[in-house]
Amino acid sequence: MNGPHTVSSAKQLFEKILDDENVYSMAVLESTSRDYMGHVFISNLDHEPELGFIFDKAYWGKGLATEALKAFFPKACRELGLHKVKANVNSHHKASTAVLEKLGFTKTRESKDLYGPYFEMEFTSDVAVGESSAA
């Protein structure tokens, strides 16, 4: 999924993952029109959980990914009991890298696939996000 998507292909992908028990996802809709703007998800729940997000290019640069992920990611980690989550991001997408860094992800290495170079990033926590470590 480390490549570009049209609005149509992103919607199709979201509809496909809705039925996938191995993916925890949330659509991001415009508040008044309820138009689809994108979606956020954690996949590979049974192996190595991976955070992803896809937004229509018309909504890039407006802080929407950060806003959506700050609401989604802690809740998902808490509900799923996740302590380690990976993410891959195109190394040329500085804004997407910054979004992940705001969530606490750090770069672990740089790789390359058919879409080009990308960073492998990782979030780790001793407790699931949002849990209190005090009893």
- Spell out the per-residue pLDDT of the chain, length 135, in tens: 455 556 666 666 667 767 777 889 998 999 999 988 888 999 988 889 999 998 888 888 999 999 999 999 999 999 999 999 999 999 999 999 999 999 999 999 999 988 889 999 999 987 555 554 444
**Which residues have C-beta within 8 Å of that of residue 51, sequence separation ≥ 6?**
40, 41, 42, 69, 73, 85, 86, 87, 100, 103, 105, 123
**Which residues have C-beta within 8 Å of that of residue 135, sequence separation ≥ 6?**
none
What secondary structure does DSSP assign to 98-126, as a single string? HHHHHTT-EEEEEEEETTEEEEEEEEE-S
- All domains of the chain, ordered by start, with CATH? 7-124 (3.40.630.30)
pLDDT at 78: 92
Q: Quick check: pTM over 0.75? A: yes
